[in-house]
């Protein structure tokens, strides 16, 4: 059991680091630690259910461990901004005042076409109507319009 608990912890840390390396595009709606927890929990829950050779505790104890780590990390992120930035990174500006930030595009592994697509999804016809595009911690892009620009609602969806 101690081996399984240690392995669960190692997998949690390793998966978090790998997800961090892959960048925000993989995350979608969740924070990084939430995604890692979801991935690990779903797998851990399935194994002892389907394989009766595995003792129930081999699934339950790592579940408790990983859920608890997630709660502790969330708490630590809320209390310490530095820890939040370490774990989930900072929002990144991809486009500002008519120019793409190439360094940030490379860092986030996002192409200018992806940004343009996101601008259109948000109801703008061209990048000229947009002041800023920011890649948020969750992996979603926020599109901030210029003062006089209005998103075309019919174009949404």
Partner 1 sequence: MNNFIIAIILIVVAVIFTAVNSFYICSLCDEITALAESGKYGEAIALWEKKRDYISFFIRDAEIDVVNSEADSLAKSYSLEDGEAEMAKMSFSEAISEIKHSEKLTLGNIFYIDTAVKKVYY
Distance of alpha carbon 157 from alpha carbon 154, whole angstroms: 8
Q: Does residue 86 interact with partner 1 by CB under 8 A?
A: no
Residues 34-63 that bind partner 1 (CB under 8 A): 52-58, 61
Name the residue among 44, 37, 95, 108 with its Cα closest to residue 70: 37
Q: The tokens of 102 are what? A: 């190439």
Beta strands in the chain (DSSP E): 92-96, 99-100, 130-135, 141-145
**Among 32, 35, 65, 119, contact with partner 1 (rule: CB under 8 A):** 65
Beta strands in 42-145 (DSSP E): 92-96, 99-100, 130-135, 141-145
Taking the complex as a whole, the smallest distance from the CB of residue 1 to partner 1 amounts, in Å, to 4
Q: Does residue 22 interact with partner 1 by CB under 8 A?
A: no
Q: Does residue 7 interact with partner 1 by CB under 8 A?
A: yes
**Among 69, 84, 108, 119, contact with partner 1 (rule: CB under 8 A):** 69
Q: In terms of CB distance, is 16 or 122 closer to partner 1? A: 16
Q: In terms of CB distance, is 46 or 57 closer to partner 1? A: 57
Applying CB under 8 A, the span of 69-77, 103-111, 122-130, 144-152 interacting with partner 1 comes to 69-77
Applying CB under 8 A, the span of 5-13, 91-99, 113-121, 148-156 interacting with partner 1 comes to 5-13
CA distances from 157 to 85, 97, 124 (A): 31, 25, 12
Side-chain half-sphere exposure of 35, counting CA atoms within 13 A? 22
Side-chain half-sphere exposure of 127, counting CA atoms within 13 A? 16
Taking the complex as a whole, the smallest distance from the CB of residue 54 to partner 1 amounts, in Å, to 6
Applying CB under 8 A, the residues found at the interface with partner 1 are 1-7, 10, 52-58, 61, 64-65, 67-69, 71-72, 75
């Amino acid at each position: 059991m101690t081996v399984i608990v240690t392995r669960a912890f190692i997998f949690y840390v390793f998966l978090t680091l790998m997800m961090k390396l892959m960048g925000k595009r993989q995350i979608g709606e969740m924070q990084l630690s939430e995604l890692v927890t979801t991935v690990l929990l779903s797998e851990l829950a399935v194994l002892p259910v389907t394989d009766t050779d595995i003792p129930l505790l081999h699934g339950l104890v790592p579940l408790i461990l990983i859920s608890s780590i997630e709660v502790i990390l969330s708490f630590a992120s809320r209390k310490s901004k530095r820890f939040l930035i370490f774990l989930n990174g900072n929002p990144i500006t991809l486009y500002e005042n008519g120019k793409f930030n190439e360094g940030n595009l490379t860092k986030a592994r996002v192409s200018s076409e992806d940004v343009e697509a996101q601008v259109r999804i948000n109801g703008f016809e061209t990048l000229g109507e947009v002041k800023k595009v920011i890649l948020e911690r969750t992996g979603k892009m926020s599109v901030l319009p210029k003062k006089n620009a209005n998103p075309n609602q019919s174009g949404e969806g």
